[in-house]
Amino acid sequence: MTELYDIAIIGAGPAGSTLARELARARADIKIILIDGQSADNPKPCGGLLAPDAQKVLARFGLTLPTSLLDDPQIFAVETVDLGSRLVRYYQRHYLNMDRYAFDRWLISLVPESVEIVNAKCISVAESDGIFALKLHGGREIEAKAVVGADGAASIVRRSFFAPCKKKYIAIQQHFTIDTDTLPAYSCIFDRETSDSCSWSIRKRGRIIFGGAFGISDGRAQFERQKARLEEFYGISLGEPIRTEACLVCSPRRPSDFNCGRESIYLVGEAAGLISSSSFEGISSAMLSGKLLADALSVAESPKSAIVSYHKKCRKLQLKLSIKIIKRAILCSPLLRKLIMKSGIESVEKYNYNPYNTNVINTTK
Ligand SMILES: Cc1cc2nc3c(=O)[nH]c(=O)nc-3n(C[C@H](O)[C@H](O)[C@H](O)COP(=O)(O)OP(=O)(O)OC[C@H]3O[C@@H](n4cnc5c(N)ncnc54)[C@H](O)[C@@H]3O)c2cc1C
């Protein structure tokens, strides 16, 4: 006989594991299953930077980050590079550089034992007479009274029941063994010739991660092109990558791209489009939306009142992310970006600064 759960959560990233933890703590009487397809061989591609907003959410949970999750080096600033104008600026940042896979495992370790955790990919989800039938890779089938899409940018739940977040990029990252001081600890790169979004390089445990968001149709070619342009800019060769990873990433462009679901079909985190389109910071919104849905579900008297309450609770977060849409439009406009970078507003002056092989702008006096 197929097992029946009150709630099936698909995806145990920051959104799904936060929801499972908070809901199970509030309501011991709810039968929850948490299904996740991630593995150590195929981790979620991520920069692994824990932004102040995400630190604040953890603080509100009373959680502290085990130092074993931290990666070397810790970062105090981002070097912003505009390859088109060859402008370089340096801005203070307060991220924690961490191991993203270990972070996800740590959040899962906090989920109470009452939640059944299954390591498998959900391959289909369908609704019939108010009951959801889920098929998992490996043949297991389950049923649930409600389903939650916490399964990221390519969410099977969102694809099965709702319109997708319209604008998506393919995010590609490569890991290199080169550990050079020539590259900053963290850089954000704009290059209009290869993408209307941005790229980044991050130093991690003696490696460099270079990654970026590119158009889906020719993403790989544009990634390679931008990598070559960056190598030329910094006067280095990254060499052969030891690892290449890719996944979709949402870039909401209008408030209607945020979709928190409907009665008995809830969306949290990136599946709901809840990610900053200016920086791709998504861990804070994922954890926060997981908590907001847990709060809504734990007191709701009916599926209808649960979704009404969840929608209401998400408004502030959606407003905040709508402002990021405006910020993205400004940052990704070559003219406006150039004006902001030239003005030096909010930038940090570096001592003993040697500009790279650019002869156009030395950003310090
Ligand atoms: C390359 C890249 C770099 C990024 N860097 C940062 C960063 O440095 N800092 C930051 O804050 N944000 C970053 N983000 C954004 C951030 O990773 C996401 O917004 C955040 O992880 C969303 O959390 P989530 O829980 O909603 O989804 P995810 O973290 O994507 O988790 C979804 C989970 O669901 C699982 N899953 C998916 N489909 C299925 C299925 N069918 N069956 C079972 N399981 C499934 C996945 O394996 C995964 O474990 C980055 C994104 C990308 C693509």
Q: Is the pLDDT of residue 360 over 80?
A: no
Helix 14-26 and helix 100-109: axis angle, to 10°? Answer: 10
Would you call 109 exposed, middle or buried from its count of C-beta atoms within 10 A (0-12, 13-18, 19+)?
Answer: exposed
Say yes or no: domain 3-43+102-165+254-329 is CATH 3.30.70.141.
no
Q: Is the pLDDT of residue 359 over 70?
A: no
C-beta 248 within 6 A of ligand 1: no
End-to-end, the C-alpha distance of the chain in Å comes to: 74
Domain ranges across the chain = 3-43+102-165+254-329, 49-98+168-250+333-365
Mean pLDDT, the chain, integer = 94
- The distance from CA 32 to its chain's CA centroid, rounded to whole angstroms, is 24
Q: Tell whether the torsion through CA atoms of 317, 322, 325 and 326 is positive or negative.
A: negative
Ligand 1 midpoint to CA 16 (Å) = 10
C-beta 274 within 6 A of ligand 1: no
3 state DSSP class of 300? coil
Ligand 1, atom 18, lies closest to the CA of 282
Entry pTM: 0.96
Q: Is the pLDDT of residue 81 over 90?
A: yes
* Most ligand 1 atoms within 8 A of CB, residue of 9, 10, 18, 46 to mutate: 46
Ligand 1 midpoint to CA 236 (Å) = 31
Q: pLDDT grade, residue 183 (50/70/90)?
A: confident
Q: Tell whether the torsion through CA atoms of 109, 110, 112 and 117 is positive or negative.
A: negative
Q: pLDDT grade, residue 252 (50/70/90)?
A: very high
Cis before 73 (ω within 30): yes
C-beta 288 within 6 A of ligand 1: no
User: Is 80 in contact with 89 (CB distance < 8 Å)?
Assistant: yes
Ligand 1 midpoint to CA 316 (Å) = 22
Predicted local distance difference test score (pLDDT) of residue 350:
86
pLDDT, tens only, 84-133: 999 999 999 999 999 999 999 999 999 999 999 999 999 999 999 999 99
Q: 49-98+168-250+333-365 sits in which CATH class?
A: alpha beta
C-beta 13 within 6 A of ligand 1: yes
